Amino acid sequence: MFERLETIEARYDKLNELLSDPEVINDANKLREYSKEQSSLQETVAAYREYKEAKEQLDEAKMMLEEKLDPEMTAMVKEEIADLESKLEDLTQKLKVLLLPKDPNDEKNVIVEIRGAAGGDEAALFAGDLYKMYSRYAEMQGWKTEVIEANYTELGGYKEIIFMINGNGAYSRLKYENGAHRVQRVPATESGGRIHTSTATVAVLPEAEEVEVEIHEKDIRVDTFTSSGPGGQSVNTTQSAVRLTHLPTGIVVSCQDEKSQIKNKEKAMKVLRARVYDKFQQEKQKEYDENRKSAVGTGDRSERIRTYNFPQNRVTDHRIGLTIQKLDQILLGKIDEIIEALITEDQTSKMKAQAEE
């Protein structure tokens, strides 16, 4: 482990030199590449330097104990040794986590797709609740949310809503939300007070840059049409809505949220690029099926991952057996407790797999 850390620290120092090199400063691509790499190593290097400093202090304290000290000084040195040993233990654990293989998508913005599934209007209303939950969470993180496409229902829910969250590390936090979310509650339309079960699906896709997935114009069919509102009513008489079909994969994306056809096409291209990139990523992951099973965040998107029980104010994440009795707070966007538990489980699983190799 420490050999790897020495190599990482040396690379970090080298990157600092490179970022001061006029040749690199004048090359936008190299500057961006080296800055990104340096940023990815920064936390690990800081923790390693803190570890080395604490280790040096511990060695000095142990040497002091070999000298003739008065009882009071001896007690102070022993207390310092205990504190430093505890600190080194914590730092060692932190370094093990930092050395786990990084998900290359972790720092990216995300495109979130929520669709009402089983349950008709109630499922669509629940899709709306999930959208508000993620929007509020994004706001708390200081991230920006932008709706790309929304297919409303007359009762105020969404058959489908696609939106982008712009924020550093958004994918690292939200990638665990992939899957089917189940709600148990009495719908407003239910006169008998019976509890209904409905579901909505969530897909979280990392935003893909043009350099990561190449989409040729000749491979895209562009169709334009008039946008419509809830219930299919006409909203716009101009051909501002855009539908893109990626011919090699058959992936179809439409966008009608903007009044401008150009803006709708730009938004649709972002979603198309993310879906094509995700398709290739999913195919690649199938080659590492065992790894996919050991990682919490890469399960099948049809898998039921969480239940929101309104009568008991309860949320249960089925992947890790976590139950929280504060559904009202969760729906306000306070989902960090669940996310942190999922990250911890994922890291533990990966460390165990690494130890077995």
Strands (E), the chain: 110-116, 144-152, 158-166, 179-185, 196-206, 220-225, 241-246, 251-255, 304-309, 314-317, 322-324
Chain centroid to Cα 79, Å, comes to 41
Identify the pLDDT of residue 191: 65
The answer for residues whose C-beta is within 8 angstroms of residue 44's C-beta and 6 or more apart is 5, 8, 95, 98, 99
The answer for residues whose C-beta is within 8 angstroms of residue 62's C-beta and 6 or more apart is 81
Identify the pLDDT of residue 292: 43
Residues 185-221: b if buried by 16+ CB within 10 A, e if exposed = bebeeeeeeeeeebbbbbbbbbbbeeebbebeeeebe
Q: What's the 3-state SS for 131-189? A: HHHHHHHHHHHCCEEEEEEEEECCCCCEEEEEEEEECCCHHHHHHHHCEEEEEEECCCC
Identify the pLDDT of residue 357: 59
Instruction: For the chain, list the domains and their CATH numbers.
Output: 2-98 (1.20.58), 110-211+288-352 (3.30.70.1660), 217-283 (3.30.160.20)
State pLDDT tens for residues 222-260: 888 876 654 444 444 566 788 899 988 888 888 887 778
pTM for the predicted model, two decimal places:
0.71
The answer for residues whose C-beta is within 8 angstroms of residue 174's C-beta and 6 or more apart is 110, 112, 134, 165, 204, 339
Encode the chain (357 residues) as per-residue pLDDT tens digits. 888 899 999 999 999 999 999 999 998 889 988 998 898 899 899 999 999 999 999 999 999 888 878 888 899 999 999 999 999 999 998 898 888 777 778 888 899 999 988 878 889 999 999 999 999 999 999 999 988 888 888 887 889 899 999 998 899 999 999 999 999 998 876 667 788 889 999 999 988 876 567 788 888 898 888 766 544 444 445 667 888 999 888 888 888 877 788 888 888 888 888 888 888 877 766 655 444 444 444 444 567 899 999 999 999 999 999 999 999 999 999 999 999 999 989 888 888 777 665
> Which residue matches tokens 């001061």?
20
Q: Which of 119, 181, 177, 179 is nearest to 302 (CA)?
A: 179
Q: How far apart are CA 97 and CA 44, in angstroms?
A: 9
Token digits for 251? Answer: 């992936």
Q: How far apart are CA 149 and CA 147, in angstroms?
A: 6
Secondary structure class of 119 (helix, strand, coil): coil
Identify the pLDDT of residue 293: 47
Identify the pLDDT of residue 284: 67
State pLDDT tens for residues 145-162: 988 888 888 887 889 899
